[in-house]
Amino acid sequence: MGTVSKHGSARRRPEASSSPRLLFVSTYPPTRCGLANYTQSLVRALSDHRGGLDGLGVVRLMPPDDPPDENDDLVMARVVPGRPGWLKSVRAASAGFHILCLQHEYGIFGPDDGLAVLDLIESVDLPVMLTLHTVPRDPSDRQRQILESLVTRAEVLVVMSHAARRRLELRYRFDGTLIRVIPHGAHGFHGQARRSDGRPTILTWGLIGPGKGIEWAIHAMRKLRHLEPLPWYLVQGGTHPNVRRRQGETYRRYLEWLVRSLGVEHMVDLEDGYVDDATLGRMVAGADVVLLPYDSRDQVTSGVLIEAVAAGKPVVATAFPHAMELLSGGAGVVVPHQDPDAIAEAVARLLGDRRTLSAAQEAARHLAGRLEWGSVAAAYEEMVARVARAASGAA
233 phi and psi angles, rounded to 5 deg = -105, 115
Say whether 241 sits in a helix, a strand or coil: helix
Q: Which pLDDT value is given to residue 297?
A: 92
Q: Can you give the pTM of this predicted structure?
A: 0.88
Instruction: Output the furthest CA–CA distance in the chain (Å, rounded).
Output: 73
Torsion of Cα atoms, 340 then 342 then 343 then 347, to 10°: 140
Under a CB-based contact definition with an 8 Å cutoff, are residues 279 and 236 in contact? no
**What's the rounded Cα separation, in Å, for the pair 153 and 149?**
6
Torsion of Cα atoms, 116 then 300 then 30 then 67, to 10°: 40
Q: What is the DSSP string of 49-86?
A: HHTSSTTEEEEEE--TTPPPPS--TTEEEEE-TTSTTH
CA angle (100, 27, 324) in 5-degree steps: 90
- Give the ranges where 78-233 is alpha helix by DSSP (H): 86-94, 111-114, 117-123, 141-153, 162-170, 214-222
Q: What is the pLDDT of residues 297-322, one digit of tens each?
A: 999 999 999 999 999 999 999 999 99
Under a CB-based contact definition with an 8 Å cutoff, are residues 240 and 36 in contact? no
CA distance readout (Å), 224 to 38, 135, 233, 256, 262:
34, 36, 11, 18, 12
Sheet arrangement for strand 56-61: 75-79, 56-61, 22-26, 99-104, 128-132, 154-159, 179-181
Under a CB-based contact definition with an 8 Å cutoff, are residues 307 and 189 in contact? yes
Fold of 3-185+373-393: Rossmann fold (3.40.50)
List of long-range contacts for 36-45, beta carbons under 8 Å, 24+ apart: 37/303, 38/103, 38/133, 38/184, 38/185, 38/303, 39/103, 41/185, 41/187, 41/373, 42/185, 42/373, 42/376, 42/377, 42/380, 43/74, 44/373, 45/185, 45/373, 45/374, 45/376, 45/377
Say whether 171 sits in a helix, a strand or coil: coil
**What's the rounded Cα separation, in Å, for the pair 279 and 281?**
5
Under a CB-based contact definition with an 8 Å cutoff, are residues 291 and 347 in contact? yes
Q: What is the DSSP string of 342-384?
A: HHHHHHHHHHH-HHHHHHHHHHHHHHHHHHBHHHHHHHHHHHH
In a 13 Å sphere around the CA of 376, the CA atoms on its Cβ side amount to 31
Predicted confidence pLDDT, tens digits, the chain (395 residues): 333 334 433 444 444 347 899 999 999 998 888 899 999 999 999 999 999 999 999 999 998 777 777 678 899 999 999 999 999 999 999 999 999 999 999 989 999 999 999 999 999 999 999 999 999 999 999 999 999 999 999 999 999 999 999 999 999 999 999 999 999 999 988 766 667 678 999 999 999 999 999 999 999 999 999 999 999 999 999 998 888 888 999 999 999 999 999 999 999 999 998 888 889 999 999 999 999 999 999 999 999 999 999 999 999 999 999 999 999 999 999 999 999 999 999 999 999 999 999 999 999 999 988 899 999 999 999 999 989 988 877 65
**What's the rounded Cα separation, in Å, for the pair 143 and 140?**
5
Of the options 2.40.37.10, 3.40.50.2000, 2.40.160.20, 3.40.50.300, the CATH number for the domain spanning 201-371: 3.40.50.2000
Q: Where in the chain is the domain with CATH 3.40.50.2000?
A: 3-185+373-393, 201-371
Q: Which pLDDT value is given to residue 394?
A: 61
| R_g of the chain, CA atoms, integer Å | 22
